[in-house]
């Protein structure tokens, strides 16, 4: 399907046009935000993310997130709404995102900010990693 590849290609194009870009896997971003909350650097990280022109969030909603994580994510998304671009790559359809976010009210707020006015691409097909592994296996065997 190439979700990560496509998201990174968009980020690469943005870089070439002079925009700032940051890429995060959502689980790692949530871990960094939790650590920053403890060590007092949360405001600095949120400010950096709010000023980044294109934020790529990969592996969106692979696993349920806690109430605290959902609130941190809302802070990131809210700071960027209508000011900066956010690219989301997820294996799950948008209709399932609400159930993965720990707090229903926060889920409503996050999804309202992300989905309205968004450009959605639904990719279908085999995983690019699976295809690449099959091709590598064929080269090794052949």
Q: What is the pLDDT of residues 53-112, one digit of tens each?
A: 999 999 998 889 999 999 999 999 999 998 999 999 998 888 888 888 878 999 999 999
User: Tokens standing for 130?
Assistant: 């699976």
Residue 9 burial (10 A CB sphere; 0-12, 13-18, 19+): exposed
Domains of the chain are 3-141 (3.40.50.300)
Q: What secondary structure does DSSP assign to 102-128, as a single string?
A: S-HHHHHHHHHHHHTT-------SS-H
Number of H helices, E strands in the chain: 7, 3
Residue 124 confidence class, pLDDT cut points 50, 70, 90 = confident
> How far is residue 76's CA from residue 55's CA, in Å, rounded to a whole number?
10
């Amino acid at each position: 399907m190439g979700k990560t590849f496509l998201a990174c290609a968009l980020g690469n194009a943005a870089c070439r046009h002079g925009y700032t870009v940051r890429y995060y896997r959502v689980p790692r971003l949530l871990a960094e935000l939790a650590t920053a909350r403890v060590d007092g650097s949360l405001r600095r990280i949120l400010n950096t993310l709010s000023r980044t022109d294109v934020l790529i969030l990969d592996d969106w909603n692979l696993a349920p997130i806690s109430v605290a994580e959902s609130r941190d994510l809302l802070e990131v998304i809210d700071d960027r709404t209508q000011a900066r671009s956010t690219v989301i790559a997820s294996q799950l359809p948008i209709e399932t995102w609400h159930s993965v976010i720990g707090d229903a009210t926060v889920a409503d707020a996050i999804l309202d900010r992300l989905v309205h006015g968004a450009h959605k691409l639904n990719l279908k097909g085999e995983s690019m990693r699976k295809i690449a592994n099959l091709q590598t296996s064929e080269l090794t065997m052949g």
